[in-house]
Amino acid sequence: MSDILHDIKTFFADLGLHLELGIKKSNLGACTGEWIAPEEERKLVSINPSSGEPIASIIQADDAAYEKVMTAAAAAFSTWRMVPAPQRGEIVRELGNELRVFKEPLGRLVSLEMGKIHSEGLGEVQEMIDMCDFAVGLSRQLYGPTMMSERSRHRMYEQWHPLGVVGVVTAFNFPVAVWAWNAALAAVCGDTTVWKPSSDTPLTAVAVQHICNRVMKRHDLTGVFNLVIGPGRTVGERMINDPRVPLVSFTGSTAMGRHVAEATSRRFGRSILELGGNNAIIVTADADLDLAVRAILFAAVGTAGQRCTSLRRLFLHESIADQVVGRLLKAYPSITIGDPLEKGVLMGPLVNQDAVDAYVAALEAIRAQGGEILYGGGRIQRPGFFVEPTIVRAPPELAMAREETFAPILYVFEYTSLDEAIAMHNSVDQGLSSAIFTESLRAAERFLSHEGSDCGIANVNIGTSGAEIGGAFGGEKETGGGREAGSDAWKAYMRRQTCTINWGGELPLAQGVKFELE
Ligand code: NAD
């Protein structure tokens, strides 16, 4: 326990922060640039999933703190939107640079609090940096097109305006990167953000807010990047129903996303939904199996199966099924499981006891439904929330394989024809990430065609997880349809305006309509 506290104190000291850590002392969970003390002290304890022991606690935002944060964010919007976009980009550039300075300690903190291995923790911070860089370039490219008007001496074009306060609700599994996907884009688009992170990962959020504050202080700005930490059922609920928030970007489970969609659309607010996945890989008879097995391992076991893009379903052509399963059964025992900050460890813990219980319950259901456990299938008896990576031979009708269990459980199916594999692949409610391993041009193109994968992400000879930020990220069906990060995802953070200017002396109407007094 004292080692852990010592570690986290060192992390924060590396960040140049003077946070009070420890169970008895408290950090604040609401910030607009200035930290806000709530009227009511409700403590949230952050637990180290590798040991089950507390790391530190923060004081959550209450209603009054929420109100202060939202008021500040709304006020800041009216000035921030007037800063020219390339200048907003310069500030985001500084944020990226500050994240470069703190990449190592912030990455370690991500691993400590969330449980992903050190290189993935660092990767998450790198993703934040990449997003900042992307947003800087974007700040000079918030283009709208010009259209040809059907009327003489008329000009028509589209332009994009800042939207307002963006509510960013994030999941535990990408505790900092998903914030950056949203906040970096929103900032160059002229919006302010209020971030409600997962209650499983409050310390990483506090650290990121401190990093933002350092940058914004230099420019004498507050209220652009804001934080409210508190329970979903109170703070989250207020945010999704708040008419001052024209856009809620929500990352989390499909069940919660459905509720967010209903709440925001009831008030004609918008939402970006990044929800659950049930991702699959198809391996054809001619696939490069060395490549496929390596990709399957990372996608199924990496982050202990706690990525939205984690591989959950594997469709193997019947001619190579035994060979691939054999190789996986050989590889799984050599995966080192343990403290994610220790060298050589490839799989850390699940995030909390609830996640372990969900894993255990899923395995009971799998057995009852006729799934055969080929490897793993139990919790690991050691402190913390560790489970075995698990391989299940699945009959085609296995109901559990239709659900997202947020744990390292891989369902293996066999298929005979590509048509059959694609049909099974697309038969679930979720539509996030997908991949095919094949050496056949026809099979690859078929998979990528509109007769192929129905997911938002479709890869060839690459696993389902580990997307780059340059593309738009998101999924279809019950994954929610949202798009974040690269490409033109920025458009969701702005409002579109179509403008027509008559610079002639006539007033012609569109479609040749005549409306003239006799
Ligand atoms: P979760 O749905 O339990 O929580 C997500 C967030 O919603 C948390 O911040 C939580 O506090 C908040 N919340 C809870 N109740 C709320 C309410 N009433 N109003 C507003 N907010 C509320 O999800 P989780 O367990 O943190 O994360 C795992 C899930 O997230 C998985 O389903 C995973 O697939 C999904 N996910 C999706 C993506 C994606 O890009 N598609 C990325 C990461 C995670």
CATH code for position 356: 3.40.309.10
Ligand 1 pocket mutation pick from 170, 242, 256 by most atoms within 8 angstroms of CB: 256
Determine the distance separating the centroid of ligand 1 and the alpha carbon of 253, expressed in angstroms: 5
In this prediction, the residues of the chain whose per-residue pLDDT falls under 50 are 1
Paired residues of 498 in beta bridges: 158
Q: Is residue 434 part of a domain?
A: yes
> Which residue is catalytic, options 31, 189, 212, 308?
308
Q: Is residue 116 part of a domain?
A: yes
Shared-domain flag, residues 99 and 245: yes
Unique residue bearing structure tokens 């449980």? 115
Q: Is residue 241 part of a domain?
A: yes
Shared-domain flag, residues 217 and 347: no
Shared-domain flag, residues 218 and 297: no
Domain region containing 283: 279-473
Q: Which atom of ligand 1 sits closest to the CA of residue 170?
A: 9
Provide the domain count of the chain: 2
Of 238, 260, 234, nearest to 248 by C-alpha is 260
H-assigned helices in 287-352? 289-301, 321-331
Q: Quick check: 199 and 44 in contact, CB under 8 A?
A: yes
Q: Is residue 302 part of a domain?
A: yes
> What's the Rg (C-alpha) of the chain?
25
Q: Quick check: 314 and 416 in contact, CB under 8 A?
A: no
pLDDT attached to residue 518: 83
| Residue 84, C-beta contacts closer than 8 angstroms, at least 6 positions apart | none
Determine the distance separating the centroid of ligand 1 and the alpha carbon of 507, expressed in angstroms: 53
Cα–Cα distances in angstroms (integers) from residue 22 to residues 1, 25, 56, in the given order: 10, 5, 5
Q: Is residue 338 part of a domain?
A: yes
pLDDT attached to residue 443: 98
- Helix and strand numbers (H, E) in the chain are 14, 23
Q: Is residue 502 part of a domain?
A: no
Shared-domain flag, residues 335 and 464: yes
Tally Cβ neighbours within 10 Å of residue 380.
Answer: 14
Query: What pLDDT digit, counting tens, does each position of 60-92 carry?
Result: 999 999 999 999 999 999 999 999 999 999 999
From the CB of 253, is ligand 1 less than 6 Å away?
A: yes
Shared-domain flag, residues 176 and 190: yes
Shared-domain flag, residues 297 and 373: yes
Q: Does the annotation mark 455 as catalytic?
A: no
Paired residues of 44 in beta bridges: 58
Ligand 1 pocket mutation pick from 198, 241, 477 by most atoms within 8 angstroms of CB: 198
Query: What pLDDT digit, counting tens, does each position of 502-514 carry?
Result: 999 999 999 999 9
DSSP state of 235: I
Angle at 64 between CA 60 and CA 67, to 5 degrees: 105
Q: Nearest residue CA, atom 37 of ligand 1?
A: 275
Element (H, E) at 367: helix 353-368
Q: Which atom of ligand 1 sits closest to the CA of residue 355?
A: 25
From the CB of 276, is ligand 1 less than 6 Å away?
A: yes
Unique residue bearing structure tokens 């008559």? 502
Shared-domain flag, residues 120 and 149: yes
> Which residue is catalytic, options 274, 388, 404, 414?
274
DSSP state of 506: -
Q: Quick check: 387 and 380 in contact, CB under 8 A?
A: yes
Shared-domain flag, residues 213 and 359: no
Q: Does the annotation mark 120 as catalytic?
A: no
Phi (first) and psi of residue 113, to 5 degrees: -85, -35
Shared-domain flag, residues 209 and 234: yes
Q: Is residue 444 part of a domain?
A: yes
Residue type, 258: R
Ligand 1 pocket mutation pick from 46, 173, 201, 278 by most atoms within 8 angstroms of CB: 173
Shared-domain flag, residues 44 and 83: yes
Q: Which atom of ligand 1 sits closest to the CA of residue 255?
A: 2
Shared-domain flag, residues 283 and 261: no
Paired residues of 433 in beta bridges: 457
Q: Which atom of ligand 1 sits closest to the CA of residue 236?
A: 20
Paired residues of 431 in beta bridges: 476
Q: How far out from the chain centre does Cα 103 lie?
A: 19
How many residues does the structure list for the chain? 518
Strand segments (E) across 216-310: 225-228, 247-251, 270-274, 279-283
pLDDT attached to residue 239: 98
Shared-domain flag, residues 334 and 295: yes
pLDDT attached to residue 23: 62
User: The domain that contains 133 carries what CATH number?
Assistant: 3.40.605.10
Paired residues of 169 in beta bridges: 196, 250
From the CB of 308, is ligand 1 less than 6 Å away?
A: yes
CA-CA distance, 475 to 372, in Å (whole number)?
A: 30
From the CB of 228, is ligand 1 less than 6 Å away?
A: no
Helix (H, G, I), strand (E, B) or coil at 498: strand
pLDDT attached to residue 17: 65
CA-CA distance, 190 to 78, in Å (whole number)?
A: 9
Q: Is residue 74 part of a domain?
A: yes
Q: The sheet that has 494-502: what strands, in order across it?
A: 146-147, 154-162, 494-502
Q: Quick check: 92 and 183 in contact, CB under 8 A?
A: no
β-pairing verdict for 53-59 and 27-28: parallel
